[in-house]
A = this chain, B = another copy of it.
Amino acid sequence: MRFLHTSDWHLGKTLCNANLLDDQAHALDQVAAMVKETRAEALVVAGDLYDRAVPPKEAVALLDDALDRLVRGLGVPVLIIAGNHDSPERLGFASGFLETQGLHVAGPLEAGASPVLIGNAAFHLLPYADPATARHAFQDDAIRTHQDALAAQLARARANHPAGRRFVAVAHAFVAGGEGSDSELGLAVGGTGEVDATLFKACDYAALGHLHRPQEAGYAQVRYAGSLLKYSASEAGHVKALTLVELPDHGPVRTEPLPLSPRRDLRRLRGRFEDLMRGPHGEAGDYLFLELLDEGPVLDAMARLRQIYPNILGIQPAPATPALPQEVVPSVDRELDPAALFETFFRDSAGRDMDEAERALFHEVAGRTLSGEAAE
C-alpha cells in the first residue's frame, strides 16, 4: 500500500508575533494536493496537530476544514495521534463518531485500542503519553520513563496485531540521536525524554512525530516526516516535506520525501547593514532572522530594514552571540551617568566594549549636547 506521513502541524502557532495561520492553510492545501496526486490510501499525522492544548478557535476551524476536505472530500482516511502539544481529551472529542467515517483520532491513551486496518497494513496509533499516564492506563507501576511507556504501548500493539498485516506504528517521541531544533518542547522535565530507536526496529514502518527535521531515526524504516513549516530560526536550513511511504506485501518499505513549498520561506540572513539595505537579497517577503555584521550600533535598524524586508522576525549582531537568535533583555541601571549608559548600550549593540577612540568620540559629542557635569 501507499500512504503519506506528516507530523507537527502546530496549527495556531505564532512565531515572534507573526501569525502563521495563512502559511499553515497554504501548506495544508499542498498536503491535500499531494494526497490526491499520489493517490495515497491514507494520511498519517504523527502528533502536534495544534501548537497548544487550547488552540485559538481559528486553528480549530482550519483543522476542521482540512480534515473535511481530505476525508469527506477526497475519501482518504486520516490517522491522527495526539502529540505532547495537544490536549488528548480535546483532540479526541467525538472520535467514536469520526472513526466510522475514516477519521481516526487517538487522543487519550487507551490500553485496549485496536489498530486501524487499511490495505495490507495495520496502523497502531500510539498517542503521546508521559510515564505517569501510561502507568495509569496500563496499571503497571514499573513504567517510570518515556522508554518504558512507549515500550508498553508497542508491546500492547504487538499483542493486538492481526496476522498477515504489515506492522505500522504511529508515535510521537524523541528518539535518541535524533536532531532537534528550537521549536520542540522537551518531553521530560530536566531532559528530553529520549527513547531508544531499537524500540521500533521490528516495525515494518514507524511514522514518527516530534522532531521537526525530516530524518531517519536509527533504521531506514523508522522516520520523522518533519514539521509542516519551519517553526524556528534553527530550522532555516530544513527542507520541509511529507514522506511518501510505499509498503509492499513483503520486503522493506520504500520512502520518498515530497517537499513542501511554503507561502513564505524562513531564512537567516547575515550581512552589513548597508549591504542588506542594497537588497533585497532573495525573496524580500520571506520571514527573516537577520544578523548584522556591523561593528558599531546601527540606529533604528529594524524600521529601516523593514522597508525592504517587511517580514523580519528578528535582528541581532552577528559576532557577539551564539548562532541561534535569543532574546536578551539588557538590564539598564537608570542611575548610571550618560557615559556609562552609552557604554552599556554600545556593548549590547556591538557585542564588545568601546575602544579608547570611540570613547573619546562619545565624550566629544556628548560634551557639546549634555551638561558639563553629566558628560564628565
Query: Which of A's residues lie within 8 Å of B, judged by CB?
Result: 54, 57-58, 60-61, 63-64, 67-68, 71-72, 87, 89-90, 92-98, 100-101, 103
A67 and B94 contacting across the interface, CB-CB below 8 Å? yes
For A67, give the chain B residue with the smallest CB separation. Answer: B94
Q: A60-B93, A72-B97, A94-B98 known; 12 other A-B pairs, CB under 8 Å?
A: A57-B87, A57-B89, A58-B89, A60-B90, A61-B89, A63-B93, A67-B94, A68-B94, A94-B103, A97-B97, A97-B103, A101-B101
- Report the nearest B residue to A65, measured CB to CB: B96
Whole-angstrom distance between the alpha carbons of A93 and B61 in the complex? 7
What secondary structure prevails in chain A residues at the interface with B?
helix
Partner of A89, one of B60, B95, B100: B60
A97 CA / B61 CA spacing, docked (Å): 13
Chain copies in the assembly? 2
Q: Pick the contact of A68: B67, B90, B96 (CB < 8 A).
A: B96
Chain B residue numbers with a CB within 8 Å of A94 are 64, 67-68, 93-94, 97-98, 103
> 3 closest A-B pairs (Cβ-Cβ)?
A57-B89, A68-B96, A61-B89
The CA-CA distance from A92 to B60 in the complex, in Å, is: 9
Q: For residue A71, which residue of chain B has the nearest CB?
A: B97
